[in-house]
Amino acid sequence: MDNNVFNKIIDSRTPYKAGKNYEISKFNEEIAMSGLVCVANNGFGVKQAWSEKIDSDESWIDGKMHVKPDFFLHVIDKDGIEKIWTIEVKTTSYDSFLNEEIIIKAPQVWTCKNNPDLYPRPYILAATDRDFSLIPMGSFWNSPANDIKFGEIVKKGYLLKCGDYKWNPFISPLKFKKYNGNNDYRPAGQY
């Protein structure tokens, strides 16, 4: 059998499922940021922490590609000084990322690198429903971006190995969602 035919047979994605996966990923990103805010508010000498969504419209209605990171993390330390971090969130509703690799699309990284005044202290928040890692973008943005295949589309991006970074537990497990194929959502871990 021709590889292209085989690939189309095993590719079960539909526009409806792609839309649901997008909705789930946006929901899970917000839950992961909430988990990070809880961790920050319960340690590290922080007086107060909160998050702010950077660009809530990622629907590309205007035909422009989304190139902004996801959130700002605002932190007021014990001395009353506010600091801001820029956060690009990557989540998985499984126990670990596929092949232990975190895929980061290059445009968001390049936006942070080229606009440090707008996007200070840029980090990747990689999260499962139980653990997270904060990865400084500066640790990899000078490396060449890879061509990464997303279905039939190839995009520039970075592949980060999970084992290269320190992972920390959230205060309690997060309630991520996962599309179960039957037109409804289920929290991750409940199948």
Name the domain count of the chain. 1
Look-up of token digits 């969602």: 177
- Vertex 103 angle, CA 186 and 18, to 5°: 45
Burial class (CB in 10 A: 0-12, 13-18, 19+), 19: exposed
Q: How does pLDDT run across 6-40, given as a tens digit for each residue?
A: 444 344 445 455 556 778 888 999 999 999 999 99
| Per-chain mean pLDDT for the chain | 83
| pLDDT band, very low/low/confident/very high, at 43 (cuts 50, 70, 90) | confident
Give the pLDDT of residue 180.
65
Domain assignment present for residue 4? The answer is no
Instruction: Note the pLDDT tens digit of each residue in 47-81.
Output: 999 999 997 555 555 555 678 999 999 999 989 99
pLDDT of residue 190: 40
The whole-number average pLDDT for the span 101-129 is: 96
40 part of a folded domain: yes
Range of the domain at 168: 11-55+65-173
Residue 191 domain-assigned (yes or no): no
Please tell me which residue, 58 or 99, carries the higher pLDDT value: 99
Rounded-to-integer distance, Cα 89 and Cα 105, Å:
11
- Statement: residue 2 has pLDDT above 80: no
Q: Give domain status of residue 44, yes or no.
A: yes
**Tens-digit pLDDT profile for residues 131-180:** 999 999 999 999 999 999 877 888 899 999 999 999 999 999 999 988 66
The CATH code of the domain that includes 129 is 3.40.1350.10
- pTM score of the predicted model: 0.82
Is 106 inside a domain boundary?
yes
* Span 115-135, average pLDDT: 97
**Residue 183 forms part of a structural domain:** no
Identify the burial level of 173 via C-beta atoms within 10 angstroms of its C-beta, where 0-12 means exposed, 13-18 middle and 19 or more buried: middle
Write phi, then psi, for 134 (nearest 5 degrees).
-105, 120
